[in-house]
Structure 1
Amino acid sequence: MSMTSQTVLLHEISKLHSKQAQWEPYAWYKEMREHSPVFYDGDQDVWNVFLYDHAKRVLSDHQLFSNKKDRSFIPVPRDDNRSNVFFVDPPEHRNRRALLAHAFTPRSLEEWRPKIEAITEELITAMEGQTTVDIVQKLAVPLPVTVIAGLLGAPSKDREQIKCWTDILFYPYAKETYGDLVQQKAKAMKEFYDYLFPIVQEKRKHPAHDIISDLTKAELEGERLTDAEVVMSSIGLLGAGNETTTMLISNMFYAMLFDQPGVYQELRDDLSSVPKLVEEVLRFRFPSANDRQVAQDTTIFGHEMKRGQIVVAWIGAANRDAAQFPHPETFDIHRPENKRHLTFGSGPHFCLGAPLARMEANIALTAFVKRFSDIQPVEQFDVTEHLIDSGVGQSLKRLPIRLT
């Protein structure tokens, strides 16, 4: 199977090849919304939509746009086991999702709040007395992976190894490095699997109060999940549970320093603005996308889309659609309805972990704002030196900030 027959390469569609252009793709998003809102890429046989209404339709209408897809840009090895929620449609999707959903209900998460606060407190206390701190490595990376490992029931001492495996699994494919990456991902997947398998077996014998134990007891179509299925579900949740939340926390600090300098003081004066800032970061600075397969020939967007073709919904572009968000290129935490962004998706596949990601981001930022009176960028900061490839573009691998 050739590379392009199974993997969609987003940078080949966007033609954004420099780190800077991928970090700030917003001018390209605007150009596409205004001039090519429904764009067909002939090289890869992929449709692309950039407007809010179109993106929302692609994400939520599984009759037309299926999550059962032969190709994807999502760089995680795909396996079809019965517990995989990522590549199915309703009604199977509903049953599979229900297995995982009760772990992420507000009530279950409220039980976790004190633990998340304690982990945050420890990380922030470690920064005291320092003038400069790398907020990505000291907060945005360790918090989500520690929390999701704890929720699942994986030993927290292994969190660096878990983070390392999930980073490899989520690392995006590129033309030049494709063969090497396939091998690296297969190796990481095998090691991760071999690590989790005995943990799953142990929890089946001696269940504890965690998601892996719950999955060993869960039934699907009247049958228990196999150990292998529990392992694969856990890998999916461990990956999804730290990649995006790390990006959210990193981008919050970047936004406070560079998108709206001075907003930090506003949070200091009124902590109730913290959740508003979290939502505006999700809308304004989160270059996400998602893909689906066209399930039947359709002209819904005024073009002939053929069954079997892939369509990419550029969510980061949809979140700046002026028809939905007035003055979309302005970072404004007081924007009414900024929670209507599509960063966590829409419809049946709305991100299961959204309440957890929001909770972690809010806890982290509230604790931080209470502790430090101000933050400043370091001198001569060049963002391109601090970036790393991520699913859709670039994400921060380091962000040094000055603490007051």
Structure 2
Amino acid sequence: MEKTILQHEISKLRSRQAQWEPFAWYKEMRENSPVYYDTEQGVWNVFLYEHAKRVLFDHQLFSNKKERSLIPVPRNDNRSNVNSSDPPEHRKRRALLAKAFTPRNLKEWEPRIQAIVDELLTDMEGRETVDIVKELAIPLPVTVIAELLGVPSKDRSQIKFWSDILFLPYAKDAYHDIAERKAQTMEDFCEYLYPIVQEKRKHPADDILSDLIQAELEGERLNDKEVVLNGIGLLGAGNETTTMLLSNMFYSMLVDQPGVYRELRADMSLVPQLTEEVLRYRFPAAIDRKVAQDTDIFGHTMKKGQMVVAWIGAANRDESQFHDAEEFDIHRPGNHKHLAFGAGPHFCLGAPLARKEANIALTTFVKRFADIGLVEGFEVTEHLVDSAVGQSLKSFPVRVERA
């Protein structure tokens, strides 16, 4: 347990509702304890936009080489792991993966993403109610990332199942049970990917796993284990974040700003703006770093070796950065400056892919369906599941009206 930072122990948010809507607590911390030291776990916490941004950007003060983490995935350090290094070493490791997420590569993937979206939406035809999470938000990202990597998309349910376990948050009272489940899942995931990687070593294809097999790091090729671990990282992160984004987009359109869907119908160019505002407004992420040298940069003495958590969801509602930050506003200027995908050297590699999937999915959906509405008697707490950020939607039944 000493290697894990228990996020919910810091926030003291216990109920599902409080974890789903942590925004009042964020506000209280920004106003009263913007730099807060949690004595129980020995962790610094920052809640303001500029502080969070500094933690993410300044790798000389705040390092990503760390022994403790919020990240609820079993750590398998290897020389190609982008998440346990700082520049300049980090740049070399990141370059192994970056090629797959270039604008040119993603442009080539647009028709395939569109085809997957069309197929999923066609299955919704002729019905009054659809489950946005189960029928769109889950299958789209996991299918896309599986195909990008060169993994059979027919296995998407299994990949999603493993990813969910790896991204489960640790809990104080069930720590060892959760740790055992994660370790077993990691083993199962590795066993699944090894033969796929070995086959691609003999017969390379046009996919990310094949690229990783052929890539060189410091003059050497990656071994099978390193390729497998990178594959698991990309498969997990590549579907969890985007699933949450897509789910939250529909929730925001129906709950945070009812009526905005019709506005999109009248002006499709607003779709990317809505995507960015959802990332800013309803994405309660947190990112950790290790204090690399003694500093009082935030007005408190932070000691080398201590951990610091940047509460991104709080920073994205900082009034000094975003006017009327507690309001959901797709017309907000500069809402793309949110920190939902991180910032600095470790800015999320998959951010362009997540944005592209979200924008294609929503644009296509809005063209097909005239309006959406909440199902009568909908209670959000009945549709939530534990996730790395607290709670996320496991299902979301929505009324649809054909265009």
Asked if residue 15 in structure 1 is aligned to residue 12 in structure 2, the reply is: yes
Q: Identity, % of aligned pairs?
A: 73
The answer to whether structure 1 residue 69 and structure 2 residue 51 are counterparts is no
Q: How does 1:73-88 map to 2 (within 5 A)?
A: 73-88=70-85
Q: Given residue 217 of structure 1, which amino acid in structure 2 is its aligned partner?
A: Q
Query: How far, CA to CA, are the matches of 1:238 and 1:299 in structure 2?
Result: 39
Report the residue type matching 2:230 in the other structure.
Answer: S
Shift of 1:87: 1.2
Displacement after TM superposition at 1:80 (Å): 1.2
Name the CA distance, whole Å, in 2 between partners of 1:74 and 1:99: 22
Aligned partner of residue 293 in structure 1, secondary structure: strand
Q: Where does residue 370 of structure 2 map in the other structure? A: 373
Q: Tell me the SS of whatever aligns to 2:213.
A: helix
How does 1:142-291 map onto structure 2 within 5 Å?
A: 142-291=139-288
Partner residue, 2:29: 32
Runs of 4+ in 1 over 2 A off after TM superposition: none
What's the secondary structure of 2:82's corresponding residue? coil
Alignment partner of 1:16: what SS? coil
Deviation digits for residues 113-156 of structure 1, max 9, x if unmatched? 00000000000010011111110000000000000000000001
Is residue 42 of structure 1 aligned with residue 39 of structure 2? Answer: yes
3-state SS of the aligned residue for 2:398?
strand
Aligned to 2:293, which of 288, 296, 304? 296
Aligned residues: 401
Who is 1:138 aligned against?
Answer: 135
Q: Match for 1:228: what amino acid? A: K
* Mapped partners of 2:167, 2:71: distance in 1: 8
Task: Give the AA of the match of 1:136.
Answer: V
Compute the RMSD of aligned alpha carbons.
Answer: 0.5
SS state at 1:290 partner: strand
Task: Show CA shifts across 1:136-178 (max 9, x none).
Answer: 0000000000000000000011111111111111111001111
CA distance in 1 between partners of 2:26 and 2:396 (Å): 25
**The residue matched to 2:171 in structure 1 has which SS?**
coil
Q: Any idea what the Cα deviations from partners look like across 1:48-71, whole Å, max 9, x if unmatched?
A: 000000000001100000001111
In 2: Cα distance, 1:391 partner to 1:206 partner: 36
Amino acid at match of 1:143: L
Pick from 117, 125, 128: which aligns with 1:128?
125
Q: Which runs of 5+ in 2 are unaligned?
A: none
Equivalent of residue 312 in structure 1, options 300, 304, 309 = 309
Aligned to 2:352: 355
Letter in 2 for 1:57: R
1:101 Cα offset (Å): 0.1
1:395 aligns with 2:402: no
Task: Give, in whole Å, the separation in 2 of the partners of 1:317 and 1:182.
Answer: 28
- 1:213: how far off? 0.4
**Aligned residue identity for 1:273:** L
Given candidates 332, 337, 342, the residue that maps to 1:345 is 342
Determine the C-alpha separation between the residues in 2 that align with 1:170 and 1:393: 11
Distance, in Å, in 2 between the alignment partners of 1:295 and 1:371 is 52
Letter in 1 for 2:351: A
User: What one-letter code is carried by the residue in structure 1 that aligns with 2:207?
Assistant: D
When normalised by structure 2's length, the TM-score is: 0.99
- In structure 1, C-alpha distance between the alignment counterparts of 2:141 and 2:310, rounded to whole Å: 26
Q: Deviations over 1:17-75 (max 9, x none)?
A: 00000000000000000000000000000000000000000011000000011111110
Deviation for aligned residue 1:79: 1.4
Deviations 1:173-204 (A, max 9, x none): 00111111111111110111011001001101
Partner residue in 2 for 1:118: 115
The AA in structure 2 aligned to 1:42 is T
| Structure 1 residue runs without a partner (length 5+) | none
Identify the residue that residue 107 of structure 1 maps to in structure 2. 104
Task: Report the TM-score, using the length of structure 1 for normalisation.
Answer: 0.99
What SS does the aligned partner of 1:374 have? strand
Write out per-residue CA displacement over residues 312-344 of structure 1, whole angstroms, 9 at most, x where no aligned residue.
Answer: 000000000000000000000000010000000
SS of 2:157's equivalent?
Answer: helix
Residues 83-94 of structure 1 mapped to structure 2, 5 A cutoff:
83-94=80-91
Give the corresponding residue for 1:6: 3
CA distance, structure 1, for counterparts of residue 88 and residue 167 of structure 2: 27
Letter matched to residue 244 of structure 2: M
Q: Which amino acid aligns with 2:309?
A: V
